[in-house]
Amino acid sequence: MNRSCTPPFWHPAYSEGFILDWDGVLAETRLSFTAIREKYFGGKFVPLFEAIAALPPDKAEELKKDIYDVEMEGAEKAEAVPGARDLLDWLNSQDIPWCVVSRNCLDSINLAAERAGLQLPEVVKSRDTPPVKPDPEALWSGAAEMGVPFEKCVMVGDFVYDLVGARRAGMRAVLVQRPEAEWKHWADVSFNYMTGFVASLKSPKPLVPWEYATIEAERLKAAAAKGVRLSGDSPYLLEECMKKAAEGVLYFLIDAPLSPLSPDQWRIMPGLVPSWLDQPVREVLRELLKFRFPMAEVVEEEPGGIPFSG
């Protein structure tokens, strides 16, 4: 397969590495932590592993054991998610590296894989090797162990932590197996069932990515065919570039690119860390675009066929 997709559109089929959640994506164990949340937190929905640190040591150990027992009980009855084997067959046929990054314990993953008849990849990240999702380090670590740049990876999950983790890590995010999820807005694209996702991988069509979700496709395509040229000395440089990037502009050419980030530029643009002061403004803009608008580029000369305004 030609693994490319013309920006500003994308499709997970063209990703260079797949990071897969385990439970609910590959193995169905039907875990329920309702009783545990009732026992320890009065029924409130809290992130269980993160909440352990707030408990007294004896309670923390008791909670860890209860979670482990629930996971092992579910793993004993694990079945492959419909379409999971087809997904893995497709990844292997395309020579696309994949790994598992899960909040489950490794014992339960191994047992569920055995019961469901699923082969695990070389790289399996569980909560036994913290940090865990949605900490972006969990996903960056998986990408690094696969040998794939994190920005070239896609996270496939069935829960909000998968999607939020992907957003924090600067990765694309695919939601599967959750037709009624209230947090679909965190995903680049969602498929009600894994089988639909696999069908889309085999016949990919351009998709509008998360950062441009509010822009109509034709308007986005038109914006992406233009570039913007701005002065590196303008106090409004970063603000204007981010505004244009939000409209779908992909190419930015900065006159006097080695101009240092000035105090005025720093004050006008919220969220800049102080250590960026006096650094080349071109590099500061690249860092700003990297996670928020990853398809946008700061170019050193006008690409052929792209009209620039400014």
Q: What is the pLDDT of residues 14-28, one digit of tens each?
A: 999 999 999 999 999
pLDDT score at 138: 97
Nearest Cα to 157, choosing from 43, 279, 12?
A: 12
Over residues 178-204, the mean pLDDT reads: 97
Does pLDDT of 32 surpass 70?
Answer: yes
pLDDT exceeds cutoff 80 at 55:
yes
Percentage, residues of the chain above pLDDT 70: 99
Average of per-residue pLDDT across 158-182: 96
Beta sheet of 17-20, edge-to-edge order: 124-125, 98-101, 17-20, 153-157, 172-176, 189-191
Per-residue confidence band for 43, with pLDDT thresholds at 50, 70 and 90: confident
Instruction: Note the pLDDT tens digit of each residue in 73-106.
Output: 999 999 999 999 999 999 999 999 999 999 999 9
- Domain locations along the chain: 12-30+77-210, 217-305
pLDDT at residue 52 in the model: 84
User: Looking at the DSSP assignment, which residues form a beta bridge with residue 230?
Assistant: 254
Would you say residue 214 has pLDDT above 90?
yes
Gap between the Cα atoms of 140 and 198, Å rounded: 24
CA 139 – CA 135 distance, rounded (Å): 8
pLDDT at residue 310 in the model: 79
Strands (E), the chain: 17-20, 27-28, 79-80, 98-101, 124-125, 153-157, 172-176, 189-191, 227-231, 251-255, 297-299, 308-309
Q: Supply the pLDDT for residue 3.
A: 54
Count of beta carbons in the 10 Å neighbourhood of residue 139: 27
Please give the DSSP secondary-structure letter assigned to residue 244: H
pLDDT digit string, tens, across residues 112-138: 999 999 999 999 999 999 999 999 999
Mean pLDDT, residues 304-309 taken together: 91
Residue 47 pLDDT grade (very low, low, confident, very high; cuts 50, 70, 90): confident
Query: What are the backbone dihedrals phi and psi of residue 240, each rounded to the nearest 5 degrees, phi first?
Result: -70, -40
In this prediction, residue 117 carries a pLDDT of: 97
Model confidence at 141, pLDDT cuts 50, 70, 90, reads very high
What is the per-residue pLDDT for 53?
Answer: 82
Q: Which CATH class is domain 12-30+77-210?
A: alpha beta
- For residue 158, the one-letter residue type is D
Looking at residue 192, its pLDDT comes to 97
- The pLDDT of residue 4 is 63
pLDDT of 239? 95
In the chain the first and final C-alpha atoms are separated, in Å, by 38
- Cα dihedral across residues 90, 12, 121, 30: positive or negative: negative
The two three-digit tokens of residue 275, written as one number: 């250590």
In the structure encoding, which two tokens stand for residue 118, read together? 């699923």
Residues 172, 198: Cα–Cα separation, whole Å:
16
Q: Is the pLDDT of residue 2 over 70?
A: no
pLDDT, one tens digit per residue, over 242-267 is 999 999 999 999 998 789 999 999 99
Q: Where residue 271 falls among pLDDT bands split at 50, 70, 90?
A: confident
Phi and psi dihedrals of 76, rounded to 5?
A: -60, -30
Q: For position 5, what pLDDT does the model report?
A: 78
Contact 309, 228 (CB under 8 A): yes
Statement: residue 212 has pLDDT above 80: yes
CA triple 258-259-262, angle to 5 deg: 145
